[in-house]
Amino acid sequence: MVQWHERDLSNSANERIVLPHAILLLDDTLEKMTRVISGLHVDADRMAANLASARGSAMTENLMLALTNRGLPRAEAHELMRNLTRDTGEPTPLSERASRYPRVTRLLTPADIAELLDPARYVEAAAAKCDRLVDRIRPRLEA
């Protein structure tokens, strides 16, 4: 068995090359991310308009998960979401279209569907995730 003091340079590549490069890449990534975030402008009105134009199609994940939690096989729920979100040119909101599918209404009420597809739930969830991340990182930054 080779001891630590008997090593040659053949397996020290991680220490000599890979780790320093990883640190340089991390530094570059953080620098770019800082530039992007510092120039970020959030246009809440535009975001609301974009969500409204999707008529609920951008928020199918909660609906799909609720259906699978109530017993619908995942593949079937996924296919159902694909069919529901297919662009038919119909201006009807997804909540109304989903409420017409017996496979959905067997498991969820129209009120459940409307709540699951409410964009405010996503905004609240995203804000909560950001708060948790900040709470986790802040002690390390202040150390």
CA distance 32 to 28: 6
Q: State residue 109's pLDDT score.
A: 92
Encoded tokens for 46? 């535009």
CA distance 83 to 63: 13
pLDDT 10s digits, 91-129: 788 888 888 888 889 999 999 998 888 887 777 788 889
> pTM of the full predicted structure?
0.59
Q: Lowest-pLDDT range, 70-79, 81-90, 113-122?
A: 81-90
CATH class of the region 46-120:
mainly alpha
CA distance 68 to 75: 9
Q: Judge whether residue 74 has pLDDT over 70.
A: yes
90-122 burial code (b ≥16 CB/10 A, e <16):
eeebbbebbbeeeebeebbeeebbbbbbeeeee
Q: State residue 121's pLDDT score.
A: 78
pLDDT band at 3 (very low <50, low <70, confident <90, very high): low
54 vs 36, higher pLDDT: 36
The closest of 71, 67, 73, 119 to 93, measured between CA atoms, is 119
Q: Judge whether residue 12 has pLDDT over 80.
A: no
With beta carbons less than 8 A apart as the criterion, state whether 62 and 121 touch: yes
